[in-house]
Amino acid sequence: MSEQVQIKAPNVETLEIQQLKPGVPVGGKLLGRLLVEQGKLVDDDIEKIVRYARKKRLRFGEAAVKLRLISGRDLEHAMATQFDYPFLEKGDGGYAKELVAAYKPFSRKGVAVRNLCSQLLLRWHKEGENSLAVVGSLEREGRSYIAANVAIVFSQLGYRTLLVDADLQHARQHKMFRVKNTSGLSAVLIGRTTPELVIKKLPVFRALSIMPAGAQPPNPVELMGRRELQSLMSDLRSQYDIVIVDSPSMTLRTGAEMVARACEHALIVARKNRTLVSDAQSLTDSLLSSGAKIVGTTLTDF
């Protein structure tokens, strides 16, 4: 079992995703009316649910589910409608189940990611910054998961969002979003194509587009070190409200710090009981040395 991660670096705050609690505030009767309109409840059910919710100190939706008047899925669908969140039914589009922000926006995991995005808006985007590298020390710490779901949430909020897969050796975003990976970032960096030709819009996610990694190059570090990456990120920042970049792990020495430098800001992902303090500290030092500003760290436990 690894040590508990406590990264010490200037101006770094820890955003602990496992401590975020599920649930969002809702107006009970407003939600009840919506469920009536959707044919899930009848008028007489609303007061019954309100009384039970007060007695048990539950939220309206939780009380309705406890009374078995609606299912958990009914509740999620109604809440997604109430808060104007695009909501995908299970199996819609064939996307990966890891995209909890789309399939289960009001589940524990979905709410945790949305709370993380709220903190990012306050600590990073409010300063006018809009490109963020998601970085980590090791494989399987959750970088791609966090990057994908954070990008979905920002698009749900109406931001024109671009998700870039910069993990050229272990690309995953095209698999999760079910897009072709024949051409992507690697081809753009060597000048074989333009960003416009490889960026794919995903209308089902409202305002989300994705640039896949593309063909795996033999020299990922050299590609990341080119001036073209800096130029590309500058152009993308001017075209999108938010640019989220899924970076390679630092242990592979494939240019993660260069990606972070090009993005100017980085969010560190560490995994509970897996990421060692020494690895996390080494990553922090490397990022700071590259000139990237660290927005914070996200400690995942799922």
Helical packing angle, 28-37 and 72-82, nearest 10° = 110
| pTM reported for the whole predicted model | 0.77
The pLDDT assigned to 175 comes to 95
The pLDDT assigned to 32 comes to 83
Q: What fold characterizes domain 13-21+93-300? A: Rossmann fold (3.40.50)
The tens place of each residue's pLDDT in the chain, 302 residues long, gives 444 444 444 444 555 444 333 333 334 557 888 888 888 889 889 889 999 999 999 888 889 999 999 988 788 777 767 666 666 777 667 789 999 998 888 788 988 998 999 999 988 987 778 999 999 887 778 899 999 999 999 998 889 999 999 999 899 999 999 999 999 999 999 999 999 999 999 978 879 999 999 999 888 888 888 889 999 999 999 999 999 999 988 765 667 889 999 999 999 998 887 877 888 888 888 888 888 999 988 888 76
Placement of tokens 């006018």 in the chain: 128
The pLDDT assigned to 213 comes to 96
The pLDDT assigned to 141 comes to 85
| 270 contacts: CB under 8 Å, gap ≥ 6 | 5, 7, 136, 137, 141, 280, 297, 298, 299, 300
Bridge partners for 293 per DSSP:
265
The pLDDT assigned to 31 comes to 81
Bridge partners for 15 per DSSP:
298
Helical packing angle, 108-123 and 143-156, nearest 10° = 80
Task: Classify each residue of 258-294 as buried b or exposed e, where b means 16 or more C-beta atoms within 10 Å of its C-beta.
Answer: bbbbbbbbbbbbbbbebbeeebbbebbebbbeeebbb
The pLDDT assigned to 143 comes to 92
Which DSSP letter does residue 138 get? S
Q: Long-range contacts made by residues 59-65, C-beta under 8 angstroms, separation at least 24?
A: 59/23, 59/25, 59/26, 59/28, 60/26, 60/27, 60/28, 60/29, 60/31, 60/32, 61/26, 61/31, 62/23, 64/32, 64/35
